[in-house]
Structure formats: C-alpha cells, structure tokens
Amino acid sequence: MNIICRIFLPLLLTILLSACGAPESTPTNAVAIPDYADPGIIAKGLDYEIYRDSVEPIFLRHRGGFVGSDTSCVACHTSQANAPLGLQPLTEENRSVFWTEEQSRQNFENVAKLVNPANPELSRLLLAPLAPAAGGERHSGGIFWNSTEHSEYQVVAGWIATGNPEIGADPVADLDFEFFRSCVQPVFVNPIDNAMPCTECHGGEFATPPPEGSYWTEAQSRQSFEDLLYLIDPGRPESSRFLHKPLHPEAGGDLMHNGGRRWFSADDPERLALSDWVRGEAAGDQCPPALQFDYPPRL
C-alpha cells in the first residue's frame, strides 16, 4: 500500500498541480478511480457506513495531549509514519482537517486488514489499544481502553461483527527466532563506515550489546528479538520501522533518525535480506551473503 501511495500520490499531485497551473486545460481521465460500488471490493463484507460514521472518528479523536495514549491514533498511524493501520494523511482545508470520501475508503480497506470477523475479539484492531490486564496486547501507542466495556471498544467490536463471519484474520507472518539470532542481531554491532553501531544508542532496547569477546546468550537474543518485534509489522517490510528508520530519506526512508543512515537504497542487499525475514520467508541459521559477519565470535 505504501508503495502504491509513493508511486501514485506524487503522480496524482503532479496531475493536479499541472491542472491548477493551466486552468483552461480539460479534465483528465488518467487516474482510474476504483469502483467501490462493486461488492467484491468491500473488505471482508464489513459495513462501510458504520466504519465512516462511528469507527473512523475514534482514530481522529483528540485525547488532550501529545504523548502516548493522550494523542489521537492518527498522530502515530498514518501511512507516512510507518505504524500499522496505514491511515491516510489528513486533508486540510479552510482551517479544518478531515478525510475525504476517497481517503476514508482507502482507510477502510487498510483498517479491515487488522480485523477478524470470524473471531472479532482476536482482531488486532481491538487488542492493541486494550489494556494487557484486560486481555489486550503490548502496544507502543499505550493503553486506550481499560476494559472491553469501554465505549470505543464496543463501537469497534460492533463494526467488526458486521463482517462476513466466514472470513478470518489476514495471516500474520511468523518471524524466525533462529534467523534473528544468527543473521540479524550481528547487524547491530557491525556499523557501516563512519557510523556508530546501533548498540551505542539502542542498547537498552532491541540492540543489547553482546558479552565482551563472545556471542549473545540465548536469553539475551530472545529479549532483543521480542523488543525488535515492536518495530516490525510482520509480513510488511514497507511499514516496519526497523527497515524504515535507518533508510535514507531520499530512498524513501524516514525523514528523521537521530542515529544516521545505514542504507542508501531501498534495494540495499542487506536491507533486502532483512526484508525477506520480515516477510516470514527466511529461517534457520544459514545466513545469506549480505548477512554474514565475523563479529561477535561464535563459540
């Protein structure tokens, strides 16, 4: 989806801008608008109107602050910010911000990927904002609902129930721990020229340094793996912050990373090899050439 946005949005803008620059030009039909009346395109049979009128406002709701669960979902979850959900950047017009009908349709398609009509309470969309104590999952965005009784939880659950109960969750890619331990983790201590290793700044998180002169213990690797998973959208390398932050902005990476850049092209062989893993397609301890390091020493 991000790729589509990256390619088509600039194209669309170019068309719009050139149309504005030349008011007398005739309208162009170059951009095909999907036929949303086609029932085949309604994601998982979910009700679009309920989505637009009741669910989408939840993403937009201002929560009084600027950090964690005091912010609106959209503050973190636009397709640009590379957190799952892939909401469209808001349109600003006459001092108000909103999603156009077209954008809401796009949001609907993206959000539908995170729901499971066959098993509504197992929907990622319901589990992330819910407190772990109430059965939710750890969420970098924080806790928004203390219990399943929360009115927003109820609204979202009600919407998911409109979906086709035969249709379940989109499969979530399984990331292999062995491959992480053998092939991914050494990336954090093998900097490129003139750069600092990731361990220097992310040592307390996913990039724990190895014990001096030896390899990470299994437990250390396990902890780093768990921490790194929160920076990954399994199956979707384009929306995984792990692959986005260290990529140069001119190659489509994040506009800001205090740690500098490791990849200057999206097709950097190391990044491609890591993408295979994020897609769930790399497993085991046999590392591809781009991920072979001598340091730290293996026992």
Cα gap 161→45, rounded to integer Å: 10
Contact indicator for 183, 277 with CB cutoff of 8 Å = yes
CA geometry: angle 257, 139, 199, nearest 5 deg? 40
Alpha helices in the chain (DSSP H): 2-21, 48-50, 56-60, 73-76, 101-112, 124-127, 151-160, 177-179, 199-202, 218-229, 241-244, 269-278
Q: How many residues does the chain have?
A: 299
Under the criterion CB under 6 A, does residue 12 sit at the interface with ligand HEC?
A: no
The residue from 43, 46, 83, 160 that contacts ligand HEC (CB under 6 A) is 83
Residue 13 to residues 22, 50, 110, 176, Cα–Cα distance (Å): 14, 30, 22, 40
The residue from 85, 175, 184, 278 that contacts ligand HEC (CB under 6 A) is 85
Q: Give the range of 41-49, 91-99, 134-142, 281-289 binding ligand HEC by CB under 6 A.
A: 134-142
Q: How near is the Cβ of 228 to ligand HEC at its closest, in Å?
A: 8
Nearer to ligand HEC, 44 or 77 (CB): 77
Nearer to ligand HEC, 30 or 56 (CB): 56
Q: How near is the Cβ of 11 to ligand HEC at its closest, in Å?
A: 29
Under the criterion CB under 6 A, does residue 170 sit at the interface with ligand HEC?
A: no
Residue 293 one-letter amino acid: F
Residues that bind ligand HEC (CB under 6 A): 68, 71, 73, 75-77, 83-85, 114, 124-125, 128-129, 139-141, 144, 196, 198, 200-202, 230-231, 241-242, 245-246, 256-259, 262
